[in-house]
Amino acid sequence: MFIPKRIIFEKDSLKYEMAQEILNKFKDNANIEIINLNSNKYKEHIPGNDLFSQYREGKRTLVVGTKKSLKFQACKPSAHYQLPLVSGCMGQCEYCYLNTQLGDKPFVRVHVNIDDILDKTEKYINERLPDITMFEGSATSDPLPLEPYTHSLQKTIEFFGNSEKGRFRFVTKYNDVDSLLNVEHNGHTEIRFSINTSFIINQYEHITASRDKRIEASMKVAETGYLTGFLIAPVFIYPNWKEEYHDLLLELKRKLPNDLMFPITFEVISHRYTTVAKNRILEIFPETKLPMSDEERKFKFGQFGYGKYVYPKESMEDIKEFFRKDIEQLFNNKEIKYII
Ligand code: SF4
């Protein structure tokens, strides 16, 4: 669960029930600074003179506000639209794409006007009838660690449970799933867990749930009938990588119930980086051990018009062969969506 160091309530946000609940939860905690803004200039209240400290202070700041523009962004290829419940994330993963997306103050922001957001969601679904419309809840965030006091996901999953043609998905590196287990989801929400070996999590994914906590949470949601998937990403090649990724897959196999009604999905993404991301990472994590030596990688132009440094061809083939074989051998009811 995300326990912020400071909470900034934007003007008028306390009219909403969710904001009141957040205030009640934290107002007596002497370690948490509560700031009520009369303007929307929240950035002035987040300290830090350079990117290094701004990043760390921002990551411990929760801004409570409303989503004013209710125009949802497209979210290809994983969904039709982003669903803007939360932006930012408490995690400090060294390779995270949000490092380059969220500027110099990567605070967490929750939108308390959830009813307006879901009303708008309904309109987007109706526009595409009779087709199904998919919404992604984690395009710019990991919403799960706020769930114990926002209940945003719970409301959203309930909404989609009652929607004939709307579907919802999100991905997480956390384990705060307990309040979602009794929600009437009707199989309309897919929860994916981003997992990795303990070595990679300990080395690069700071302030996230451990490998075993994520696995435990994934088993709970799978048992309660949610569509469940695993995003194994980013995959790194390092000494013993095959043994450790095999151990991870074996642990999933051992823990997964045998009688699931749906296939477990796997998405596997090898580590890659852009020059912009590398420069940003080196500012925020000057001591990083992330393997980002351009000479050891292949430069590849991507579909979004910029280039990335990916593993060379032989290493990519090794990654693909290893995961395809291992997943095929270990799991019966599964779907490998892609290995890239
Ligand atoms: Fe980024 Fe996900 Fe890590 Fe959060 S948990 S910092 S969104 S990679």
Give me the tens of pLDDT residue by residue for the chain, a chain 340 residues long.
Answer: 999 999 999 988 999 999 999 999 999 999 999 999 987 677 789 998 888 888 999 999 999 999 999 999 999 888 999 999 999 999 999 999 888 887 777 899 999 999 999 999 999 999 999 999 999 999 999 999 999 999 999 999 999 999 999 999 999 999 999 999 999 999 999 999 999 999 999 999 999 999 999 999 999 999 999 999 999 999 999 999 999 999 999 999 999 988 888 999 999 999 999 999 999 999 999 999 999 999 999 999 876 667 999 999 999 999 999 999 999 999 999 999 999 9
Final residue in a domain of this structure, among 150, 172, 194: 172
Q: Which atom of ligand 1 is nearest to the CA of 89?
A: 4
Same domain, 141 and 218: no
Q: Is the CB of 139 under 6 A from ligand 1?
A: no
> What span, in angstroms and rounded, lies between the C-alpha atoms of 64 and 86?
10
146, 172, 208, 281, best to mutate for ligand 1 pocket (most atoms within 8 Å of CB):
208
Q: Is the CB of 284 under 6 A from ligand 1?
A: no
Do 221 and 315 lie in one domain? The reply is: yes
**If you measure from the C-alpha of residue 146 to the centroid of ligand 1, how many angstroms do you get, rounded to a whole number?**
13
Atom 8 of ligand 1 has which residue's CA nearest to it? Answer: 96
Taking the C-alpha atoms of residue 251 and residue 32, their distance in angstroms, rounded to an integer, is: 38
Task: Specify whether 69 is located in the same domain as 132.
Answer: yes
Please report whether residue 261 resides in a domain: yes
Structural domain contains residue 61: yes
Q: Is 142 in the pocket of ligand 1 (CB under 6 A)?
A: yes
- Tell me if 10 CB under 6 Å of ligand 1: no
- Nearest CA residue ID for atom 5, ligand 1: 91
Q: Can you give the pTM of this predicted structure? A: 0.95
Domain assignment of residue 295, yes or no? no
Distance CA 193, CA 214 (A): 7
Under DSSP, is residue 6 helix (H, G, I), strand (E, B) or coil?
strand
For ligand 1, say whether the CB of 89 is within 6 Å of any of its atoms: yes
Domain boundary among 172, 200, 231: 172
| Contact between residue 310 and residue 298 where contact means Cβ atoms under 8 Å apart | yes
In DSSP terms, 64 is beta-bridged to 9, 110
Domain harbouring 202, CATH code: 3.80.30.30
Ligand 1 atom showing the smallest separation from residue 194 Cα? 2
Tell me the C-alpha distance between 129 and 95, whole Å: 38
83 and 117 fall within a common domain: yes
Judged by phi (left if over 0) then psi (alpha if -120 to 50, else beta), residue 252 lies in alpha
Q: Which of 172, 204, 238 is the last residue of a domain?
A: 172
Answer yes or no: is the C-beta of 96 below 6 A from any ligand 1 atom. yes
Angle, nearest 10°, between helix axes 313-330 and 241-255? 30
Nearest-angstrom CA–CA distance, 271 and 279: 16
Instruction: Return the best residue to mutate from 142, 144, 213 for the ligand 1 pocket (most ligand atoms within 8 A of CB).
Output: 142
Question: How many structural domains compose the chain?
Answer: 2
Residues 30 and 120 grouped into a single domain: yes
Please tell me the predicted confidence (pLDDT) of residue 11.
87
Residues 319 and 190 both lie in one domain? yes
List the domain range (segments joined by +) for residue 116. 1-172
- Say whether both 68 and 210 belong to one domain: no
